A and B are shown apart, each in its own frame.
Chain A
């Protein structure tokens, strides 16, 4: 196992920056998820690490070697592809044996390693089958087996679960996590599903527009998003982002909504707002930190319920506030009707404030 370091990595296609100055370190044995929407550069980054496409500038270090100019075969990596990329004309056994054959191991060695890998992944009975005779989950497992059979320094995974159905995905998610723990494998994992990243990874790298937005543990990214993009991307339902105006009334900092209501801020939040580059401030709040009242209480602001989605455990209410849609979770016992006026109370301790111009999180 080994570490992976990206130094100011850049990949351009003509004038387009697919990967723009990305630097991050994946420590030995760490599970890092590259996450972001389609076209954010996460897969390009993975392909750069794999060596499938040449870098424009910057360095890639695997272990203690700069691998920029090395062929994929010399980088000591293994990759699991989104479509598994199993060799369709080879049996499962031969699929697993292929990486070993390419490394010119002896027949006995190959046989031993293949059977061991098959046993670990519980597919010894499938060795003679062809990939097309396997179910999606089994194909996925063969792909995983082909990656681990030769004990690479780094595992690269490109959305390995996105072709599975929902139930199997959850199951394979825990299998991959278990695999990571058992082998202390260094894994770089690309996904567009933030839930996968949050549940599986030690650290997540949130990307957008080719830029690395934030690189931290899922808990940190969840609790302290550095900007509005990360705040809106991580978490389900997404964090509500409400554009407001900051002003000062009688020496106290307040936020004013488009409907004219006023929300006084705590001293700490007031210090944050003072750092903003303009009067425009965006309030961010997760659904669980907002309280919904059916009557006006002190500190609450008026909104209008839009949709109500009972899920059993909780009911999600979407409400209009200052031109934005706010997600609130309430106990299923609370009965809210669409278009009903409601009052929302924000938790001053757990709210996020963003600069309306730069979209960066405001810090006290």
Chain B
């Protein structure tokens, strides 16, 4: 293949990547082009959102559009975050509601999924397989199918117009996948680690807390992010179950910016941007856990 002598590549340090000595690699460049296109496709709408949120209402409606805001302004953000006017009051309310619902959902999901996944991974009990697949059954149907039955159920439980109804509903989405995801993590933690801990003087529970839990942190965090984002972005259930203005979550509440006659585009974009901030921050802070090698060095394979 390569016409350079063997000796040359042998003297290269292992960090220096051998350069491709072949010419134009169509597949590689094709791949790069594809990735760039995907990047543009995903980034441009977000960039446009951010730019629009910095414009005045008049500038936002101009045609041809102002690609770059001529008079950038933060007035839209100020309005949203200022509790003294009605828009700001509502927005902060929605933000708080969304945070509350999503955080509670996440905490409950992790609290239930961690022991459930551990049990599925480590214990054999009657009906284990059946239960495990039953858990997934819920996710085989589109969410909308359950809208009416769940609404009727919530009405019977007297939970309509409470955040509890949303939290319960989001758990039915989030939990099954959380359990599946975490079970995979636990399956990858060698059982010998727990056995060693138990011999070293830990009870089964202590072995779980001191040895298994720290190792499954990446899994727990991934699970938590997953259910947080799911709850944070959910629209249709929140729209159906809640009717009072002060209870609404962000995705529903943002509709306020569409009024009968005009739409406050910069305000809407500013609200959307603020809404995406927690998710992005969560990802940036916690993403290293996703990539960190799980049990590297624990055992020799």
Contact = CB atoms under 8 A, between A and B. Distances in A.
Interface of B: 190, 192-193, 195-203, 206, 210-211, 214-215, 295-301
A72 B300 contact: no
Given A81-B192, A98-B197, A87 B298 contact: yes
B195 A131 contact: no
A139 interface: yes
B201 A103 contact: yes
Nearest to B189: A88
B299 A84 contact: yes
Given A50-B199, A52-B198, A85 B300 contact: no
Report the interface size class on chain A: 20 to 34
A38 to B, nearest CB: 18
A87 B211 contact: yes
Interface in A105-143: 130-134, 136, 139
A85 to B, nearest CB: 4
Nearest to A164: B300
Given A87-B211, A88-B295, A89-B215, A139 B201 contact: no
Given A87-B193, A98-B197, A73 B300 contact: no
B296 A81 contact: no
Given A88-B295, A132-B296, A73 B203 contact: yes
A99 interface: yes
A94 to B, nearest CB: 10
Nearest to B217: A89
A71 B203 contact: yes
A34 interface: no
A102 interface: yes
A102 B215 contact: no
B107 to A, nearest CB: 23
Interface in A5-35: none
Interface hub of B193, B206, B214, B298 (most chain A Cβ within 10 A)? B298
A64 to B, nearest CB: 20
Contact of B199 (A72, A131, A139): A72
Contacts of A130: 297
A237 B157 CA distance: 76
7 contacts: A52-B199, A71-B198, A73-B198, A79-B196, A81-B192, A82-B192, A86-B298
A83 B199 contact: no
A46 to B, nearest CB: 11
